[in-house]
Amino acid sequence: MSLRRELSQAVQTRLKAGESKIDIYNALKERFSAASVERALAQWPLPEACEKNRYLNYPLMIIVIVFTLVNALRLAPAFQTPGPYTARAVLIVIIHIYTIYGIKNFNLIGYLLALLLGISTVLSIGTVGPGTVLPLALAAAAIVLSFMQKTRLFPNTPWILRHKKDENGQPVF
């Protein structure tokens, strides 16, 4: 097992056991680097925050599943004939599936990817017309829900997987 995976599992196990993030940080920074522990803690919210905000996760996950299905159908010709676009199509589908996995598990990276998927959908729609209203509405909902979940689940974490620092340079959990 890799160190990163081991650290992530240790953080998740301790969070589920009810330990505070500062206690986990102090316990694990001796075994792993402090920066790695901080990044791992930045990705996972407290269990009570997950329970409190679970209702916002379902619509976001449904929106990302719709984006995944639409993009998989749009990219279907690339899967039928091997060529230069096949690897790109596979990568796009993998990113969408990883986004669903991240949102399902309340991982910050899932919300970041959902936000980026929403923004890329808005940017990829050229002109607004009757056929683009639904994709724009879903993209806007994905952006809003991603941002809401991020701010509610990770109040002391910016989008760059680091915690805010106090005046002494210590992370604020």
Predicted confidence (pLDDT) at residue 146 exceeds the cutoff of 70:
yes
Q: Do residues 105 and 45 touch, judged by C-beta distance below 8 A?
A: no
21-43 pLDDT per residue, tens: 889 888 998 888 888 888 888 88
What is the reported pLDDT for 128? 76
Residue 93: is it exposed, middle or buried by C-beta count within 10 angstroms (0-12/13-18/19+)?
middle
Whole-number Å distance between alpha carbons of 118 and 51: 25
Whole-number Å distance between alpha carbons of 38 and 32: 10
What is the reported pLDDT for 78? 76
Q: Do residues 57 and 149 touch, judged by C-beta distance below 8 A?
A: yes
85-100 pLDDT per residue, tens: 888 888 888 999 999 9
pTM (2 d.p.): 0.86
What is the reported pLDDT for 1? 63
